[in-house]
Structure 1
Amino acid sequence: MAEELKNEAQVYQKLQALQGRYIPVLWLAGVADGLEMVLLTDFVGTQVSRELLADTTQRKIREAMFAIHELRVAHGDIRPQNIAMQGRGQDVKFYFVDFGFS
């Protein structure tokens, strides 16, 4: 698990330009209080629900995914549990989380 978190921290650094827009802001990555590895990000919302997805929101998710791919990162585990949703209606934002398999 420590290796997965180290990899995820490296991916967050590579995606720094997308932090706060398509991925959470990374605040801390490293060893803290004797733990092996800690990764601390902003809380960006709740797990996306397939039932709530309309065509416009699917476009927003694809836009986020394409922005990540443009920085040459493949998420490696895209599923509803790894897409967080914040807000409602036209103001809804989507964030990809859990880059451990990237």
Structure 2
Amino acid sequence: LDLGPSQIDIGMLAATYRADGRGLSVEEFTAEAVAGATGDNKIERRASRDVVLYGFGRIGRLIARLLIEKAGSGNGLRLRAIVVRKGSGQDIVKRASLLRRDSIHGQFQG
């Protein structure tokens, strides 16, 4: 299967296959379901672009979360560095803690 960068919900694919009444094999159904992302239709992975965040406040942490969660998804953005103001050693520890556990957005699994 010549599959381009994709996000496939296997549970949704399986449920759709079970509900489909056309009698296709698993291989045929899957090939049809991902046809828009294979062969000549696939989107080629674009050249990656390095991203440096200047600031690690609330917005910087949210952007870092998004970039880390989407790493490898074909969007071409790679988080390479985060620049912070000089502070105490405990400051960076606190910011790392806030990245891991946000009171609004919850636990970060990245």
Pick the TM interval, shorter chain: under 0.3
Q: What TM-score does the superposition give when structure 1 sets the normalisation length? A: 0.26
Higher relative CO (Cα under 8 Å, sequence separation at least 6) belongs to 1
Tell which structure's C-alpha radius of gyration is larger.
2
Q: What TM-score does the superposition give when structure 2 sets the normalisation length? A: 0.25
